[in-house]
Amino acid sequence: MRSSTSNSDADRSKWLKAWLLAACLVVLIIAAWEGTLRREGHEPAYSDNRPLWMSARHKLTRPDESVVAILGASRIQRAIDIDLLSDRINRPVVQLAIEASSGLPVLENLAADPRFRGTVIFSITPAFSFNQRASKLDVGFQGRWISAYMRQSRSRRLEQELRLSVRGLFAFRSAGAALSQIVTGIIDTGQFPGPGFKTIHRNRFVSIDQSKLPVEVSQEGIVALYRENSIAYDSESYADVLQYFSTLADLLKAKGCRIFVVRLPSEGAVLDYELDEYPQVTFWEQLQHQVDANFIHFQDYPELEGYLSPDGSHVAAEKASGFTKQFAAILSANGL
């Protein structure tokens, strides 16, 4: 056995023919596969993962006072059509909300970033924002994304942007159209599976097609999920969180940032649960009292009603643009 490659030049034409054959086969098969996926309704799509979040976070690296950063959980991620809001308020808008998270570690990251001078819209989801598991005491998930963002080199960032661009071109590179998923779908149902229920846009706006959900999501289901994943704060530890929030808000204000704390609509069993577990007087009003920010509560704005999906927690995908327009008008009325 040789310990290294040889210097043989004997089979140059053989490799040329082999490569021509391989290239033709690859182009043909990929084109056929892409065409099949498109015919079945699949489109290029993104995953709501760390690279997409970091790509959004990098948009805040220039000291631009007009920029708006949205923080929170899925409630605001599904409610706000980013491009539309940007058009309406005439400012660049960046979606940094992370599903099932408090948003506090991201707020801390923005407060500590001297380049960030813009406006923060912080969406409160009681079960996550007032929840010990997703608070600053447990920042595992958000912490890892933020830490990866902080450590990302320029070349890694360039690679990330290139990969996202490629993903935006081909349906076969989307997570939902992975070959293994398609094959599993065909085996399980005997039919070519169509696109999934979740569409994630390049700007991290998420829309859910309720008709394609694998199981119907009810208000009771959402409440059960909250109950399973949350440990509500007692008054003493909530005081710590308020203090922490207040300090971050002061740091942001000192840099010239503006902060909007918003409570997006919920209804039915979800709202009942939120009011029971996190009473307005104890949580929201204390927040208003202690944190120096603009506050927008859906109950003060009747125009925000009527947009929710049957789950009672998220704005329905087909109503997101209408909701965004109303929300933009409220922000403008509040001086943004």
Partner 1 sequence: MAFNSLIFLIFFAVVLGLHNLPLAWRAKKLNLLLASYVFYAAWNPPFILLLWISTATDWFASRRIAVSTGHTKRLYLLLSILVNLGMLGYFKYGAFIEENFAALLQLFGVAYSGGESNIILPLGISFYTFQSMSYTLDIYRGKQHPCKSWLDFSLYVSFFPQLVAGPILRAGFFLQQLADDYRERITQFGWGFALITVGMFEKVVLADGLLAPVVEKVYAESALANGVDSWIGTMAFAGQIFFDFNGYSVIAVGLGCCLGFNLPWNFLSPYAAIGFADFWRRWHITLSTWLRDYLYIPLSGNRVSTLRTFINLMLTMLIGGLWHGASWLFVLWGGVHGTLLVGERLLRNRFGGSPILQGHTATFLLGLVTWLIICLTWVLFRAESPAAAAHLLGAMLSLQGGESIVSTKEILQVALVIAALLAAHGFMRDRDFEQTARSLSWPLAGLILAAMLLAILLSPGEERAFIYFEF
Interface ranges with partner 1 (CB under 8 A): 1-9, 11-12, 14-22, 25-26, 29-30, 33, 153-155, 158-159, 162-163, 166, 172-173, 175, 178-181
* CB of 47 closer than 8 Å to CB of 200: yes
Q: How does DSSP assign 231-284, residue by residue?
A: -BPPHHHHHHHHHHHHHHHHHHHHTT-EEEEEE----HHHHHHHHHHS-TTTTH
Q: Give me the half-sphere count of Cα atoms (radius 13 Å) on the Cβ side of residue 156.
A: 10
Smallest distance from the beta carbon of 85 to partner 1, in angstroms? 30
Q: Which is nearer to partner 1, 40 or 303 (CB)?
A: 40
Cβ distance to partner 1 smaller for residue 157 or 297: 157
Q: How far is CA 273 from CA 13, 17, 68, in A?
A: 73, 68, 31
User: DSSP label at 191?
Assistant: S
Give the DSSP H or E segment for 222.
helix 219-229
Nearer to partner 1 by C-beta: 14 or 39? 14
Which residues does residue 260 pair with via DSSP β-bridges, in sequence order? 121, 294
Minimum CB separation from partner 1 for residue 242, in Å? Answer: 28
**Nearer to partner 1 among residue 21 and residue 239 (C-beta):** 21
> CA dist 230 to 54, 109, 280, Å?
26, 23, 18
Q: Which is nearer to partner 1, 12 or 289 (CB)?
A: 12
- Among residues 33 and 301, whose Cβ is nearest to partner 1? 33
Q: At 316, list the tokens.
A: 């329905």
- Shortest distance, CB of residue 148 to partner 1, whole angstroms? 12
Q: Residue 32 Cβ, how far from partner 1 at the closest point, in Å?
A: 11
Pick the closer one to partner 1 by CB: 20 or 224.
20
Min dist CB 153 to partner 1, Å, is 6
With contact defined as beta carbons under 8 Å apart, do 304 and 324 qualify? no
Residue 76 is encoded by which pair of tokens? 């605001």
In whole angstroms, the minimum distance from the beta carbon of 169 to partner 1 comes to 12
Which residue, 1 or 254, is less far from partner 1 as judged by CB? 1
What gap in Å lies between CA 75 and CA 93, rounded to an integer?
Answer: 17
Spatial separation of the C-alpha atoms in residues 321 and 199, rounded to whole Å: 15
The least distance separating partner 1 from the CB of residue 198, rounded to whole angstroms, comes to 16
CB of 261 to partner 1, least distance (A): 33
CB 98 within 8 A of CB 73: yes
